[in-house]
Structure 1
Amino acid sequence: MREQWLKRWREGRIGFHLAQTHPALVRHWKALGVPSRAKVLVPLCGKSLDMRWLSEQAHPVLGVELAPEAIAQFLAQRSGDVSRYHQAGFDIARQGSVELWQGDFFHLHIRQVDEVGAFYDRASLIALPPATRKRYAFHLAQLVPPGAKGLLISLRRCDSDAGPPYSVSHEEIDALFTPNFRLEMLEESAPDERGFAESVWALERRGPLE
């Protein structure tokens, strides 16, 4: 999966990238009640403009991305000083209030995200094959503190297991996240021309005694 993802970016096969902020993020983020200035973790972030939008809402952003091409293209979208450093296996670039960590999301340690207070997944879960999604949901739960809120945007299609993007059923989302998160589906679109229906979920990390 790692090499497949890197190859996609090298070849420019990134049809999943949106050239604007995702409308569901704009519609639902403020209603989540994320504290002002809470740092937002964005796994498998690509070069998503959603990170710019979150930073414009006064949130510091920590994006994690495997492909160096994605980070370079994100930084090139705007002028502005970029500071660079290395930490525990990650090459990190900071532009404004957005930090981009180039490396494997599964190597991210809780000590490196101790300031994170929220999270956003627009195309992370659906980029992962079935065998990896359980590991992803568990790792995300380990990285965010109790009470942390986030938004998950997923896709499902009844007639295909191919991907990415992968189809993830509502039942699988429930099974993956309910053990560690309170979960509420906010909306689901009609299927598009490819047969994918997009669903939007609000999540909140459960406390240790829940």
Structure 2
Amino acid sequence: MEHDFWQTRWKNDQLGFHLSFVHPILKRNVSRFGLAGDARIFLPLCGKTLDIGWLLESGYRVVGAELSEIAVGQLFEALKLVPDISSWEGGQYWQSGRLAIFQGDIFRLKSDDLGPVDLVYDRAALVALPSSMRGAYAAQILALSHAAPQLLITFEYDPAEKAGPPFPVLPEEVAGHYAGSHAIAELSRKDVLESSLNFKEAGVTRFVEVAWQLMPRHR
């Protein structure tokens, strides 16, 4: 999507993608990855997700990438953290304690900037991008994280019934992006249409949320 699309969504507080609770898929599955207590978890296109606060409370270090300065400001405000703000090539770097956010264009981020990653948690990044951008995004995530393990959430629905975002990403596409570097296992699959009002009201008949565990073949 064009940067202006997401900047406008944040400016106008059009945040249907922002959950008012910690994602149960994260709480249920993060232990599967066998992380150390102070592992560093990367959240691409993180917004101001409440998942970050939960991860910090669980003892993890968190690094995110987010385009919107509004989102990052609201995140730190909600967490009652006062950030040190500096610049990086693609925007601003916000840091306080065990939380760091690269605010700006994720495609300008480099692995040396990002630092070590023990887990990528992609709650709403891959599905936020149209098909024309998803290949480049997946390649960027692999490069940034050195093919770290990943907890990925995707959606499946009929795009003829409603236009994204979030966009449908089918299993064969997940495999196309990541099977060369990771062993892929489906963790859960659930129709969440009843709690996805925008999709239900648009007449979508099936809106399935799928969780994936991606474990690197070689690292």
Match of 2:169 in 1: 168
Q: What is the root-mean-square deviation in Å for CA atoms of aligned residues?
A: 1.6
Q: One-letter code of the match for 1:91?
A: Q
Match of 1:88 in 2: 89
Q: One-letter code of the match for 1:196?
A: F
Measured against aligned partners, the alpha-carbon deviations of 1:139-180 in whole angstroms (never above 9, x if no partner) come to 11111135x322101111024362111111111111111122
1:43/1:63 contact within 8 Å kept = yes
Match of 2:144 in 1: 143
Output aligned runs, 1:112-151, within 5 Å: 112-145=113-146, 148-151=148-151
SS at 1:189's partner residue? strand
1:65/1:71 contact within 8 Å kept = yes
Which of residues 176, 179, 203 in structure 1 aligns to 2:214? 203
Match of 1:30 in 2: 31
Measured against aligned partners, the alpha-carbon deviations of 1:36-86 in whole angstroms (never above 9, x if no partner) come to 312111100000111111112221111100011100111111323321111
User: CA separation of 1:204/1:90 partners in 2, compared to 1, >3 Å: closer, same or farther?
Assistant: farther
CA distance in 2, matches of 1:3, 1:205: 34
SS at 2:119's partner residue? strand
Measured against aligned partners, the alpha-carbon deviations of 1:3-28 in whole angstroms (never above 9, x if no partner) come to 11111111111101011110110000
Taking only the aligned residue pairs, the percentage that are identical comes to: 32
CA distance in 2, matches of 1:19, 1:202: 24
Match of 2:40 in 1: 39
1:141/1:205 contact within 8 Å kept = no
Measured against aligned partners, the alpha-carbon deviations of 1:114-150 in whole angstroms (never above 9, x if no partner) come to 322211000001100001001111111111135x322
Output aligned runs, 1:58-69, within 5 Å: 58-69=59-70
- The normalised TM-score by structure 2 is 0.89
1:92/1:101 contact within 8 Å kept = yes
CA distance in 1, matches of 2:24, 2:117: 23
Match of 2:202 in 1: none
* Offset of residue 196 of structure 1: 1.3
Match of 2:5 in 1: 4
CA distance in 2, matches of 1:107, 1:22: 28
- List runs of 5+ in structure 2 lacking aligned partners: 200-205
Measured against aligned partners, the alpha-carbon deviations of 1:175-200 in whole angstroms (never above 9, x if no partner) come to 11112222111000025143310000
CA distance in 1, matches of 2:79, 2:25: 24
Match of 1:19 in 2: 20
Q: Indicate the larger mover: 113-122 or 64-73.
A: 113-122
Q: One-letter code of the match for 2:215?
A: E
- The normalised TM-score by structure 1 is 0.92
CA distance in 1, matches of 2:126, 2:169: 8
